[in-house]
Amino acid sequence: MITIDQFRTDFPEFGSTSDYPNAQVQFWLTMAGQLLRPDAWQDSLDLGTELYIAHHIAISAKNRAVASVGGVPGTVNGPQSSKAVDKVSASYDTGAVALADGGFWNATMYGIQFLQLARMAGTGGRQL
């Protein structure tokens, strides 16, 4: 069973309690407990729960960053595929890492990993 401490151990990038308060982690931990079916996820439930939490917290961090500079949090943007500054430009093949029909889950790498596992967990094909 995942706890806040276990989540922070497994995902040390979310170790800061000031940037990622315990109450926020607990909120998404509770939501995962309500939405992820243990019978479907089986031994992958802990990892699925942690990826679910990480995805939502990463989205929240993006929203806080936008709000901190006067932007509107919660605005939906797709992944940036190119950028040019002066005479230098860079572009990325965002489709190479996005999952087909991934929508919201494609907004973070945690979401992509979560959705990939969720699709496998929900495929069935078990033999007893």
pLDDT of residue 93: 45
pLDDT of residue 114: 94
If you count them, how many residues does the chain have?
Answer: 128
Tokens of 115: 């959705």
pLDDT of residue 26: 98
State the Cα angle at 112 between 64 and 62, rounded to 5°. 10
Query: What is the full per-residue pLDDT of the chain (128 aa) written as tens digits?
Result: 899 999 999 999 999 999 999 999 999 999 999 999 999 999 999 999 999 999 999 999 998 888 888 877 777 665 555 666 777 766 554 554 666 777 888 889 999 999 999 988 876 555 45
Angle between helices 45-68 and 109-121 (to 10 degrees): 150
Written as one string, the DSSP assignment of 72-103 is -TT---PPP-EEEETTEEEE--GGGTSPTT-G
